[in-house]
Amino acid sequence: MTQRFLIRATGSAQPGQLAGLGKALATCGARLLDINQSVTFGIVDFEALVGLDHDASLEATLAEAGDHLGLDVQAIQVAAEDYHRWSAQASRPRLILTLLAPRLPAGILAEVGALTAEHGLTVELIHRLSGREPLGGTPLDGEAPEHGACVECWLRGEEVDLEALRERALALGAMHGVDIAIQEDSIWRRHRRLICFDMDSTLIQTEVIDELARRHGVFEEVAAVTERAMRGELDFQQSFRERMARLRGLDESVLAEIAESLPLMDGLERLMAHLKRLGYRTVILSGGFTYFARHLQQRLGFDEIHANELVIENGKVTGEVREPIVDADRKAALLAEIAEREGLRLEQTIAVGDGANDLKMLATAGLGIAFRAKPLVRQQARQSISTLGIDAVLYLIGYRHGDLEA
């Protein structure tokens, strides 16, 4: 009859310890069922679940090996019912909970622990994705880990009301100034290949149509139309056409001046460099204008752009755009079309945006991220980032800081 043991070993990490423990387990005829090892500040923590089909002097053999290797070793017998419970738990779907912030307050661990327990979830693993805090960095001197702090937790449990869990996590994160993202783990999580971005207030720190209106002296008029749209009195296409009409007669030279001084979102250049290196196809899907999207494409290397084409005649903006207008439906449709053309599943796509007209695109993508969005958009999107730069998207894909900077 098979007996199962949980082997635990801890002590100061030294070369050769894994080999020594493996040799001792082999001497006893043990089979590996599961294994995990980590080293923190020079202290090794080794755990292995093993099976034995015959009596063996396991404890004595491991104790002898531990004395030789400088490790405290324990062998704990695992009852059959505990093993079956563990096996059933391991077969359940996994959730990935990601914590992101300039700094992570220790209190958030207690809050997250309580939240996951309330939903019947077990925390399987916690590990850091971000870089280390600078030497000497303290909450008083203002230093923080480069590109923010990020910790990833692996969760398992019975069927969970994911929407309720996300709603609670959003409120909890708002209280502590921390982004808490929860996504289902799958084979596609590290195999996404297409990422589509909104442009205004996502890739750049401004709304281009507002800048054009200011330069043309019609900002208040355009803002009034925007306000009517926010109250639901106009849909996107109606409001867009009304705002465009106010720009009639704007000199084309103004477009060039604004394009040259577009303020990039913090973290964008780093994000694009890594996405290109990792083989992602990068796309701008914008309700803004191709004139400015093309400028970003040339500057940062986006693979393709889809935005609204301004009609310019005799060096002046006419106040019209060419059909079709890129609205919420068009963004979602374009994302799906590009994925199909590239031979990708929707699960392999990512969308990032900040506005209500991005919600359909975010819902269509395998991973939809509301970036520095208004509360309503954050609530409706599956994931959101508000505390870090746009390069924090890399953490939600699951990349470690060390992997990217190597």
Which residues are marked as active site?
Answer: 198, 200
Rounded CA separation 218/246 (Å): 7
Exposure of 217 by Cβ count < 10 A (0-12 exposed, 13-18 middle, 19+ buried)?
A: exposed
Rounded CA separation 386/185 (Å): 22
Task: Answer yes or no: are the C-beta atoms of 236 and 287 closer than 8 Å.
Answer: yes
β-partners of residue 353 are 370
Exposure of 222 by Cβ count < 10 A (0-12 exposed, 13-18 middle, 19+ buried)?
A: buried
- Residue 369's nearest CA partner among 208, 192, 218, 227 is 192
Spell out a b/e string for 49-85, using b for 16 or more CB atoms within 10 Å of the CB, else e. Answer: bbebeeeeebbebbbebbeebebebebeebeeeebee
Q: Which amino acid would we find at residue 298?
A: Q
Q: Give the helix ranges, DSSP H, for 235-387.
A: 236-245, 252-260, 268-277, 290-300, 328-341, 359-364, 375-380
Q: Give the helix ranges, DSSP H, for 70-200.
A: 80-90, 107-118, 162-176
Q: Which amino acid would we find at residue 334?
A: L
Rounded CA separation 197/188 (Å): 19
